[in-house]
Chain A
Amino acid sequence: MVIGEVMDYSPLILSAKLALVATGLLLVLALPLTHGLTFARFKGKFLVEALVGLPLVLPPTVIGFYLLVAMGPDGGLGRLAQMVSGRPLVFTFAGMIVASMIHTLPYAMQPLKTAFERLDRRLLETAYVLGLSPVAAFFRVVLPNTMNGLAAAAVLAFAHCMGEFGVVLMVGGSIPGETRVASIAIYEYVETLRYQEAWQLSLALVLISYLVLLAVTFLNRGERYA
């Protein structure tokens, strides 16, 4: 538990793992959710829209506090996890993924929503007239035409998870190798006056994030549909 004399980069790897897993799961979750909120018509839609946007408004430590309660042994999510895996969710890597996903959901949904709204409705209507099922239409018409939005959602979600601090500080518990991610490690270096290490880890975090964002932007270049 003593922070080693040699620079320890494991928090960085943990951060990258957290961001990648959370982003992947988020896209799977955000795609149908955003699709539903954009195209479906139901009563109280605006209520759901406002609800998923809440993490944008609430301070991260406040979200973290509520998640701490919800994911603890007495909370709903915690009890559910206890039944499934035998452990409460709080202070585990899985718990951090859940927390990051909830906090990052609006960041993943916003670009998707914009992309869905821009989609030419005539394309969809044509697909239905030609006999495509809604699911087939989603994969063969909607998705290929909203790749930009998907890429933007992935970038935003990844960046947000990578740098997230307040929520994971609350529900993580800073366990080395399991929940001590880069942002927390940097914070702890600063707290212990080890500014040199803090600076090194920050630089590495920025570099990795920049490279990932660069890669996505590069891959996305060829996908522009006018």
Chain B
Amino acid sequence: MGRTIAIILLIAAIFSAKPSRAEQVVAVAVAANFATAMEEVAALFTRETGIRVQASYSSTGKLYAQIKHGAPYDLFLAADEERPQLLHEAKLAEVPVIYASGRTVLWSGRPDLVEETDWQAVLARQDVKRVALPTPEIAPYGQAAFQAMATAGIWELVKPRLVYAQNVAQAFQYGEKRAVDVCFTALSYARSQSGQAGRVWEIETAPAVVQKGCVLTRAANRAAARRLLDFLGASPAKAILATHGYR
């Protein structure tokens, strides 16, 4: 009997455990490519405002579907312009604003490719057999890479060697684990610690990936969400974004 009561008390204690003091929290749905930059920005934001940032990372498409079906986020940082706009049209979000502009690059961990100076020269090599591309229909960075290849007229040449990744993170992972020879990914991954171990080629002709964010109208804490979105546009955050390869 005594033991039963003890167990019940223990369970009650676990479920009633709460943060010791009431603190402000802003829940943010973040596109996966922005994860590392977000961690740094969030730390700075919390230090300056005392508002805690609770970030969930996933693909833009998945986060969009979750938000449409009532996921309790305050702010949505997408990897494209389309999804925030759709939420705004559905009256689920305020007017979207640009918070970052990313670049698509070609990356490889193969030491023998270091000498190549141009991304097209890399793809022209016979011994580059596997190329990872984030699926263009899903991933904005894959779309940008596709457009650059189409413009350069090498799409048909590269297509038979393509392996499709779900997002820039997976494309980079394929490259980093040497499952592919080269990968198209976001500059933010090439700038990461493991990315610096390889070689990166800029693709000037690839359109910039404009990433928009929006405060959600169902937000529990709209003021804090707006504050974070503004914070992303201010110079301290801008500097962090620049080190991660965003403009």
* A residues apposed to B, CB below 8 Å: 1-3, 68-69, 71-74, 88, 90-91, 169-170, 173-175, 180, 187-188, 190-193
Name the one of B61, B65, B164 contacting A174, with C-beta atoms under 8 angstroms. B164
Number of interface residues of B (CB under 8 A): 24
Contact B65 A173 (CB under 8 A): no
**Chain A residue at minimum C-beta to C-beta distance from B61:** A191
Contact in complex: B162, A1 (CB < 8 Å): yes
Chain A residue, CB-CB nearest to B137: A192
A180 to B59 CA separation, bound complex (whole angstroms)? 19
Quick check: A191 and B62 within 8 Å, CB to CB? yes
One of B7-15, B40-48, B174-182 at the interface: B174-182
Residue of A nearest to B155 (CB): A1
CA distance A193 to B178 in the complex (A): 32
B41-74: which residues lie under 8 A (CB-CB) from chain A? 59, 61-62, 64-65
Q: Do A73 and B163 touch (CB < 8 A)?
A: no
| Chain B stretch 175-197: residues in CB contact (< 8 A) with chain A | 177-180
A residues less than 8 Å from B59 (CB atoms): 191
Q: Taking A69-B177, A72-B177, A173-B163 as given, write out 9 further A-B residue pairs in contact, using a Cβ cutoff of 8 Å, ordered by the A residue number.
A: A1-B162, A2-B137, A73-B179, A88-B179, A91-B179, A173-B165, A174-B163, A175-B162, A190-B62
Q: Mark B136-158, 1 if CB is under 8 A from A, else 0.
A: 11100000000000000000000
A64 to B22, CA, bound (A): 41
Bound-state CA distance A35–B164 (Å) is 40
Our pick among B61, B130, B164, B165 for the contact of A190 (Cβ within 8 Å) is B61
Give A225 to B179 CA distance when docked, in angstroms.
49
Across the interface, name the chain A residue whose C-beta is closest to B59. Answer: A191
* Contact present for B177 and A192 (CB under 8 Å): no
Contact B61 A192 (CB under 8 A): yes
On whether the beta carbons of B64 and A72 are closer than 8 Å, the reply is no
A187 to B65 CA separation, bound complex (whole angstroms): 12
Does B91 touch A at the CB level, under 8 Å?
no
Q: Are the CB atoms of A3 and B177 closer together than 8 Å? A: no
Q: Tell me whether A72 and B138 are in contact (CB under 8 A).
A: no
Residues on B with C-beta less than 8 A from A73 are 178-179
Q: How far is the CA of A196 from the CA of B61 in the complex (A)?
A: 15
Most buried by B among A74, A173, A190: A173
Q: Which residues of B contact A90 (CB under 8 A)?
A: 179
A2 to B142: give the CA distance in the assembly, Å. 13
Q: Taking the complex as formed, is B227 at the interface, i.e. its CB lies under 8 A from any CB of chain A?
A: no
Is residue B101 within 8 Å, beta carbon to beta carbon, of the partner chain?
A: no
Nearest A residue to B139 via CB reads A191
Instruction: Please name all residues of chain B whose beta carbon is closer than 8 Å to the beta carbon of A187 when the two chains form the complex.
Output: 166
Can you show 21 pairs from A to B with CB atoms below 8 A apart?
Answer: A1-B159, A1-B162, A68-B173, A68-B179, A69-B177, A72-B177, A72-B179, A90-B179, A91-B130, A170-B170, A174-B135, A174-B163, A174-B166, A175-B164, A187-B166, A188-B137, A188-B138, A190-B61, A191-B62, A192-B61, A193-B65
Cβ of B176 to closest chain A Cβ, rounded Å: 10
A53 to B99, CA, bound (A): 47
What distance in Å separates the Cβ of A89 from its nearest Cβ neighbour in chain B?
Answer: 10
- Alpha-carbon distance between A170 and B163 when the two chains are bound, in angstroms: 11
Provide the residues of chain A in CB contact with B64, threshold 8 Å: 193
Closest CB-CB distance, A69 to chain B, in whole Å? 6
Contacts of B163 in A (CB 8 A): 91, 173-175
